[in-house]
Chain A
Amino acid sequence: GAGVSQSPSNKVTEKGKDVELRCDPISGHTALYWYRQRLGQGLEFLIYFQGNSAPDKSGLPSDRFSAERTGESVSTLTIQRTQQEDSAVYLCASSIDRGGANEQFFGPGTRLTVL
């Protein structure tokens, strides 16, 4: 079946511009996660959505970052007034999160380059 998809795969933008990154989770997965991975670094958690609960935003690095999710479907991560340090691969993952093994399935990521 279809996995997690993300778009665009690559995004180059100028400093100060806003960007929107999209994630389509696996159908039926109630939980959705955004992570960031800078070049040569590990994964940093950004935000977590679970069903209709309030999202866990504890990983968002600044108020320039926000994310929305429509029900248990698509999510959009928005970065306003981008800075060069925002350059990274942004990874989305989804999982069933219903008390089971909860393995997370990751998308291919969006590579963001801020010039």
Chain B
Amino acid sequence: DAKTTQPTSMDCAEGRAANLPCNHSTISGNEYVYWYRQIHSQGPQYIIHGLKNNETNEMASLIITEDRKSSTLILPHATLRDTAVYYCIVRARGSQGNLIFGKGTKLSVKP
């Protein structure tokens, strides 16, 4: 699986959009970008994934650059409950086995 790079921490004001970047410059053609988050004292939670088109679901939007070397997870209206560590993971679709979690980005949503 390709390596990802994320900022260690970010702050966001409540009600504003949170934009979390991820670099994955060595991503290969069959690898998807997945995002998970882990709220304090809970297990990780799947958010969204995508290949090359932008994706949106009830939780977030995922914007992937045309060259696929980076992506941005967008929480359109961050709430205090979105405070968590966000993990960007690159993985081939259909691959099996464990996820490899890096250090992620600690997002702090502040009132």
CA distance A60 to B43 in the complex (A): 19
Do B99 and A104 touch across chains, with their CB atoms under 8 A apart? yes
Which residues 22-59 in B have Cβ within 8 Å of A in the complex? 32, 34, 42-46, 49
Do A31 and B96 touch across chains, with their CB atoms under 8 A apart? yes
Nearest-CB residue, chain B, relative to A105? B46
B residues sitting closer than 8 Å to A (CB atoms) are 32, 34, 42-46, 49, 91, 93-104
Do A102 and B95 touch across chains, with their CB atoms under 8 A apart? yes
Which residues of chain B are within 8 angstroms of A105 by Cβ–Cβ distance? 46
CA distance A82 to B32 in the complex (A): 39
Nearest-CB residue, chain B, relative to A59? B98
Do A97 and B96 touch across chains, with their CB atoms under 8 A apart? yes
- Which residue among A31, A42, A50, A109 has the maximum number of chain B CB atoms within 10 Å of its CB? A42
Whether A100 contacts B94 in the complex (CB less than 8 A), given A105-B46, A106-B45, A108-B42, comes out as yes
| Count of residues in A whose CB is under 8 Å from the partner chain | 25
Residue of A31, A43, A101, A108 near B32 (CB, 8 A) is A101
Do A107 and B102 touch across chains, with their CB atoms under 8 A apart? no
Which residues of chain B are within 8 angstroms of A106 by Cβ–Cβ distance? 43-45
- Which residue among A59, A101, A105 has the maximum number of chain B CB atoms within 10 Å of its CB? A101
Do A56 and B97 touch across chains, with their CB atoms under 8 A apart? yes
Which residues of chain A are within 8 angstroms of B99 by Cβ–Cβ distance? 33, 43, 45, 104
Contact with B along A46-67 (1 / 0, CB 8 A): 0010100000100100000000
CA distance A109 to B94 in the complex (A): 26
CA distance A104 to B101 in the complex (A): 12
A85 contacts B by Cβ under 8 Å: no
Which residues 58-99 in A have Cβ within 8 Å of B in the complex? 59, 91, 93, 97, 99
CA distance A93 to B46 in the complex (A): 11
Do B49 and A35 touch across chains, with their CB atoms under 8 A apart? no
Which residues of chain B are within 8 angstroms of A50 by Cβ–Cβ distance? 96
